[in-house]
Structures are given as structure tokens and as C-alpha cells.
């Protein structure tokens, strides 16, 4: 795994060096695609698409540093975006590392895709599992580039709002993942539903924290640019979670946990409040 990412980063660096005549935006985009293709190659050779899993969390801070450079030390908006992004990246990558058991482990979604697509799986793997998320993350990070490449507004009081949401969102995701990990390690009842702590507030608090991170990037970009394009990446992420990630996981858990449907009926997927209970009429 480590070798795969060293070679991917090296491929990205070569692209950046040989594309000096192009803008930083295009250099970063082609470098990102090139690195993804290297990871895809390793996943294909070892027949494990989970080679791609940490790519999602390591790319944003690299893009931010490449585009923003010295602004991290001189611009408060960029500085806070970097701190939040670094916190998010280190936490998410650490969470992946402690759950990664080796090449014997592959995400259940990829296994399902293999079973349902058969001979077409390599194409699904390349375009759906690897290139599509790379493109989504790139779009989500575009406010970094726009803020560094444009005249942005001065720091405002409202900036403190997205900073607070950013750190709170990453903490929520960390809390949710820690509680989930402890539950998996200590639970002795097959089919038991995790419905306490932050998981008692909504069904997917980790996804809520993740979406909060992408929301913050869009929010900061919008305040700095005063342009609606800053929200585009967040909207793409929201569509991904609402129309694939959440429904797919809910479907899996309803089928594998006897009490999950009841839990699903009582909680919202992302809104951290209990659904109103429907009392039967007499």
C-alpha cells in the first residue's frame, strides 16, 4: 500500500513538472488523474479496489498546499481552511489505518459491485470506484484554488461560523467512528443495532460530520468569493451521500440487523433529532 502511494505521488509530481506551461488548476487536475491511475493499477494487480480507500482523505490537504502555498501563513481564511482540512485528513486516514487488516480486506460495496457487474467490473472499478470519487473530491476542493487565484473579501465575523462548524463537524465524525469501532469490538449480540451516543441522534452521524467538512469549504469559498460556484463541490457531495451512500448502507443494514428498520423509522438519516413518534389513534 505504501509503495502504491509513493509511486502515485511521484507520478503526480512528474506531471506537474512537465506541465509548467499550464495553469496550476490544470496541472493539479491531470496530476490527480495520473495518481489515481497508478492506484487503480495496484488495485487491479492485487485484485483489491480498497487500494483507493485512503486516496479520498490524503488528496485535499495536498491540493490546498499546492494551490495556496504561502497563503497558509498569511491569509486567515486559508489558514483556518488548512487547519480544518489537516485535522479532517489525519483523523480520517488514521481511522482507515486502524481498520485496515491488509489485502484480505476489501470494502463491502466493491464486493457487491464485483458480484453484480461480473466481467464489466474493471470498468466499474476504474470509472465508478476510482475516477468518479477523484473528480468529486477535486470539485469539492476547487474553492481552495479560487480563493488563492482571486481577490477575496476581507475576514468577516461570519467566517467564525464556518470555522466553528468545520472543527465541530470533524469532531462529530471522529466521535461517531470511535463509538462505532468500540461497538464492533465489544458487541456480543449478532444483529444488535448501534443506537446510542451520537448514533442515537441520527442514523449516520459520521456522514453528517463528513458533509459538514465539504459544506465548510463551500461556505468559506462563498464568503471569500461571493460567487455561487463555490457551492458546486458540496452539492455534488450531498447528492452522492443522499442518493447512493446512505440508501446503500441502509439497505445493507436492514437486511442484516433485525432491529434496524425500527431504528430507521425512529431516526433521520442526517438530521440530529428524533423523529416525532406516531401514536396510534384509538
**Residue, of 85 and 105, whose pLDDT is higher:** 85
- Give CA–CA dist 245/243, Å, rounded: 7
Does 165 map to a domain?
yes
Does 280 map to a domain?
no
In Å, how far are 87, 101, 276 from 273, measured between CA atoms?
A: 26, 35, 9
In Å, how far are 89, 127, 142 from 55, measured between CA atoms?
A: 10, 15, 17
- Give CA–CA dist 251/148, Å, rounded: 42
Nearest to 107 by CA among 7, 219, 266, 248: 248
Does 25 map to a domain?
yes
Does 277 map to a domain?
no
How many structural domains is the chain composed of? 1
In Å, how far are 7, 49, 111, 113, 155 from 10, measured between CA atoms?
A: 5, 20, 29, 30, 36
Residue 223 has pLDDT above 70, yes or no: yes
Does 209 map to a domain?
yes
Residue 3 has pLDDT above 60, yes or no: yes
- Give CA–CA dist 126/10, Å, rounded: 20
Note the pLDDT of residue 228: 96
- 18: CB partners within 8 A, 6+ apart: none
**Residue 276 DSSP SS3:** coil
Note the pLDDT of residue 282: 47
Q: What is the mean pLDDT of residues 251-275?
A: 93
Binned at pLDDT 50, 70 and 90, residue 129 comes out as very high
Residue 279 has pLDDT above 70, yes or no: no
Q: What is the mean pLDDT of residues 16-29?
A: 96
Does 282 map to a domain?
no
Does 276 map to a domain?
no
- Give CA–CA dist 268/203, Å, rounded: 6
pLDDT tens for each residue of 189-209: 888 999 999 999 999 999 999
Residue 209 near residue 176, CB atoms below 8 Å: yes
- Give CA–CA dist 27/18, Å, rounded: 9
Confidence (pTM): 0.94
- Give CA–CA dist 255/93, Å, rounded: 29
- Give CA–CA dist 234/216, Å, rounded: 9
Chain centre distance of CA 179:
19
Does 109 map to a domain?
yes
Note the pLDDT of residue 255: 93
| Max CA pair span of the chain | 75
Binned at pLDDT 50, 70 and 90, residue 70 comes out as confident
Residue 19 has pLDDT above 60, yes or no: yes
pLDDT tens for each residue of 107-121: 999 999 999 999 999
Domain housing 11: 2-266
- Give CA–CA dist 227/220, Å, rounded: 11
Q: For residue 124, what is the DSSP state? A: I
HEC string for 95-128: HHHHHCCCCCCCCHHHHHHHHHHHHHHHHHHHHH
Amino acid at each position: 500500500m505504501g509503495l502504491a502511494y509513493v509511486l502515485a505521488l511521484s507520478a503526480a509530481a512528474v506531471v506537474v513538472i512537465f506541465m509548467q506551461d499550464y495553469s496550476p488548476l490544470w496541472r493539479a487536475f491531470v496530476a490527480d488523474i495520473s495518481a489515481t491511475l497508478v492506484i487503480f493499477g495496484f488495485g487491479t494487480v492485487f485484485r483489491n479496489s480498497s487500494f483507493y480507500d485512503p486516496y479520498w482523505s490524503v488528496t485535499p490537504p495536498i491540493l490546498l498546499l499546492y494551490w495556496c502555498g504561502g497563503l497558509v501563513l498569511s491569509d486567515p481564511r486559508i489558514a483556518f481552511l488548512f487547519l480544518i482540512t489537516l485535522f479532517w485528513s489525519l483523523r480520517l486516514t488514521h481511522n482507515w489505518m486502524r481498520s485496515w487488516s491488509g489485502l484480505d480486506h476489501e470494502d463491502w460495496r466493491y464486493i457487491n459491485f464485483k458480484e453484480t457487474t461480473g466481467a464489466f467490473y474493471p470498468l466499474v472499478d476504474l470509472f465508478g470506484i476510482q475516477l468518479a470519487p477523484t473528480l468529486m473530491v477535486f470539485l469539492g476542493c476547487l474553492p481552495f484554488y479560487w480563493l488563492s487565484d482571486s481577490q477575496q473579501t476581507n475576514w468577516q465575523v461570519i467566517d467564525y461560523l464556518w470555522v466553528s462548524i468545520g472543527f465541530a463537524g470533524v469532531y462529530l465524525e471522529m466521535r461517531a467512528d470511535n463509538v462505532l469501532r468500540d461497538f464492533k469490538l465489544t458487541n456480543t449480540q449478532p444483529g444488535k443495532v448501534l443506537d446510542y451516543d451520537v448514533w442515537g441522534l441520527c442514523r449516520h452521524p459520521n456522514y453528517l460530520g463528513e458533509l459538514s467538512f465539504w459544506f465548510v469549504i463551500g461556505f468559506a469559498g462563498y464568503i471569500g468569493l461571493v460567487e455561487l460556484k463555490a457551492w458546486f463541490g458540496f452539492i455534488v457531495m450531498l447528492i452522492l451521500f443522499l442518493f447512493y451512500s446512505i440508501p446503500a448502507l441502509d439497505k445493507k443494514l436492514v437486511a442484516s440487523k433485525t432491529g434496524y428498520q425500527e431504528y430507521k423509522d425512529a431516526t433521520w438519516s442526517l438530521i440530529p433529532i428524533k423523529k416525532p413518534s406516531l401514536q396510534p389513534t384509538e
